[in-house]
Structure 1
């Protein structure tokens, strides 16, 4: 069994194995478009092949922003549904192969991820990137979708991505009027990135954003804040002039918003409320302002926002401002 990144000349042959299914919307056209944009790289597309010249048994595709040296997350994972013979060969030839599973796709895909993770680690990427699956709401009640997730989950776990988080993706029509919730806050631009770094760090305290708090525990709140501000500054298509500081009428800083734009649509990006101001409904007001900025500054048909399933205050704020739960993002992580 051979695990390796692809070369440009074999892209078309590899794309023959890329078939969207109930848990993965990435298509061959998606891959071509993201390669052109720099969000995919040939060295971030890996295959498991039984021998040179044979069709791949599995394909893994990682994503990163065009400015990234390393991939940020695994974006898609495909495997042939008939690799029983390859599974037996994998156990014979690969001493580090994962334990057998009920679905041989999981074993082949897990071994592919393990091999790629080792190369990424040598290049300085530790821990391994998260794996993201975009799913419909209520996906657990859809047998085909649940089955499509199941073998991928086992592959992720077999490759060390054992922690799971579920995020809600909300959408709102960009041309809908944004409700005026109160006059308690004023919003102003702030050119100094250090102000946002400080606010981001302070907002991590007792935050219900489990994704951010988990990263802050691993690398430290200061470094995580700087990484996130740098990402929104340089790794997205949003404009720096959209960022806002929220203040009370007395001039007290309450929190901040970073409206942004990914490669497809405008997104809320990030918003934070300082711990001493939580529980007063300010999150909804900051969210409303971020929505106004995006509606005025972009031409997207929809505006998207994401939050953790357990972050009930932000879920309530999104619903109050008119966002609706459309999709789930399932994230498998090493740490």
Structure 2
């Protein structure tokens, strides 16, 4: 599609990755493997060319077995208006009519507001996506635990056992949504019941982990009463603390530290090179727990979503 001398189109295949990567981002090194594995497709990777020069690009990520992408996670622009036009044009081709667009995630420096160049990168992309209807959903802190960091020993206040089955984890995930500080969950609760939101989270994320489910733990009091849970896991890219939560009636007792330490111990025992985790900027209790456990806030993400 042409607008004056602007051409908007998907790439033809892996042979155009060099063209696509004329603009750069931290995920570029994953693109070839993602294409080979079906997590990306040429039709989900679009470029805006002016006179043969790349001036904007956008790429969506999804699962090989699903026909519609799950996330917009590569978006680079030299001009916000061109970027908005590119995303609007691509989504009209990629998404079935009436489909809510996938959310947008952008990894950004931890102190991005303090650096003029980094701030411009973030705000230019946000401006472009606002022109096609997206709104800021959350700013998230990305944490990393590194080998050599001390792991707190068990304090014996809580016992830990494996999750019994999917029904149990779904029940716990439903219960912890009461009073949640997570922006994604709060957004889901405006559209569906707590049980539906828990099931969606499970099917979109936990069900796709590549690691054994017997790593997952329920935290209980000595009498067996559940207090919370943690799902240490491996996703397609890293070992992660996938989901950690304390049940509403047990919040405020510091159990979050015990549960995070258990999840960290399980992954550290696998001789991992790092453990990744994330939480919303506004989820101060969770962010502070990561810091107390020796996790480093090395980056942030911006998430935008369509109403």
Is the pair's TM-score, using the shorter chain for normalization, greater than 0.5?
Answer: yes
CA distance in 1, matches of 2:183, 2:14: 41
SS where residue 190 of structure 2 aligns? helix
Partner of 2:116: 143
State the Cα distance separating 1:39 from its structure 2 match.
Answer: 2.3
Aligned to 1:62: 60
* Aligned residue among 305, 320, 325 for 2:292: 320
| TM-aligned CA deviation for residue 50 of structure 1 | 5.6
Matches within 5 A, 1:288-327: 288-297=261-270, 299-327=271-299
Give the C-alpha shift of residue 190 in structure 1.
Answer: 2.2
- Structure-2 residue corresponding to 1:230: 203
- C-alpha contact (below 8 Å) 1:247/1:253 kept by paired residues: yes
Q: Aligned pair in 2 of structure 1 residues 16, 271: CA closer, same or farther (>3 Å)?
A: closer
Cα root mean square deviation, aligned: 2.1
Aligned counterpart, 1:25: 26
Task: Report the number of matched residues.
Answer: 302
Note the C-alpha offset of 1:197.
Answer: 0.6
Alpha-carbon offset, residue 296 of structure 1: 1.4
- Compute the displacement of 1:37 (Å): 3.0
How do 1:180-199 residues align onto structure 2 when only pairs under 5 Å count? 180=153, 182-199=155-172
Aligned runs of 1:1-335 on 2, under 5 Å? 1=2, 2-8=7-13, 11-12=16-17, 14-17=19-22, 19-20=23-24, 24-27=25-28, 29-49=29-49, 54-79=52-77, 81=78, 105-122=79-96, 126-180=99-153, 182-297=155-270, 299-335=271-307
Once the 2 structures are TM-superposed, how far is the Cα of residue 183 of structure 1 from its aligned partner?
0.9
Q: Return structure 1 stretches of 4+ with deviation > 6 angstroms.
A: none
Q: Assess, with a 3 A threshold, how the Cα gap between structure 1 residues 193 and 60 changes in structure 2: closer, same or farther.
A: same
Quote the offset at 1:115 in angstroms.
1.9
Deviation at residue 208 of structure 1 after TM alignment: 0.8
Distance 2:272 2:139 in 1: 25
Change (3 A) 1:146 1:322: same
Alignment partners' CA distance in 1, 2:83 and 2:140: 24
- Cα contact 1:193–1:229 (8 A) shared by 2: no
* Matches of 2:94 and 2:60, distance apart in 1: 11
Return the alpha-carbon distance in structure 1 between the equivalents of residues 87 and 246 of structure 2: 38
Would the aligned equivalents of 1:294 and 1:303 in 2 still touch at CA under 8 Å? yes
Q: Deviations over 1:206-235 (max 9, x none)?
A: 111122221232233222211222234432
Give the 3 Å change call, closer, same or farther, for CA 164–324 of structure 1 in structure 2.
same
Describe the shift of the 1:16–1:166 C-alpha distance in structure 2 as closer, same or farther (beyond 3 A).
Answer: closer
- Partner residue in 2 for 1:100: none
Please give the alpha-carbon distance, in whole angstroms, between the structure 2 residues aligned to 1:57 and 1:174. Answer: 40
Confirm or deny: 8 A CA contact 2:14 2:42 kept in the other structure: no
Under a length normalisation based on structure 2, what TM-score does the superposition of the two structures give? 0.90
Q: Is the 8 A contact 1:245 1:255 kept in 2?
A: yes
Question: Deviation at 1:249?
Answer: 0.4
What is the TM-score with the length of structure 1 in the denominator? 0.83
Does the Cα contact within 8 Å between 1:244 and 1:256 map onto a contact in 2?
A: yes
Residues 190 and 236 (structure 1), Cα distance of their counterparts in 2 relative to 1, 3 Å cut: closer
Q: Which stretch shows the higher mean deviation, 319-328 or 197-206? A: 319-328
Unaligned runs of at least 5 residues, structure 1: 82-104
How many angstroms apart in 1 are the aligned matches of 2:258 and 2:239?
18
